Chain A
């Protein structure tokens, strides 16, 4: 079975500062990983994904994440945040059964609050 832990429930930062949202996972098989963003009163929107290949993945809105297999981590980063990045961010992990997918397991979310 897979599990995912988002290490911070809330992250306050000032505008134009860098931010890192942490995500650790556990799995006995290969995984694929996602970061989703949820703006208030909306559904989840995909930020970026790791399926295979390069461990550094770039997503929308200037976000990137690095897959670290030895640390079982998939931390999300942005070098300079904007007020509009204020939202809740979810890390999700799924098992890769080599052509078929397992269901996604979501973390509990990290609320990013960007202050002027």
Chain B
């Protein structure tokens, strides 16, 4: 199993450009998440999904959009990139059912994004 994979690993964007961060998991998890990590601030939830076709906002959704057309994929879209979106972005996935073992989240390796 590859687990959670993210592409690209690094990206530099100019202000106003747009891009999509890709996230794929092969563990058949129904929950998926996008976080951003800023120095000294921990992880902040951007969006999450409880299954294909269902998404919801997290703590910091402004400036981002998501979609979930399949169980495996959960892309994050940045429209009109701004310097405040410079961050490291992590995708994660988990089971939702206690009987499945746990609620732990499995993380991808991250995408380091710089907006200048």
The interface of chain A, by Cβ under 8 A from chain B, is: 9, 32, 34, 36, 41-46, 49, 51, 90, 94, 99-101, 103-104, 106-109
Contacts and interface: CB of A to CB of B under 8 A. Distances in A.
Contact of A43 (B40, B98, B102, B108): B108
Contacts of B48: 103
A45 B107 contact: yes
10 nearest interchain CB pairs? A43-B107, A108-B42, A106-B43, A106-B42, A44-B107, A101-B103, A43-B109, A46-B104, A43-B110, A109-B42
B9 to A, nearest CB: 9
Nearest to B4: A43
Nearest to A42: B109
Contacts of A46: 104-106
Interface string B78-116: 000000000000101010111000111111111000000
Nearest to B41: A108
Given A49-B102, A103-B45, A9 B40 contact: yes
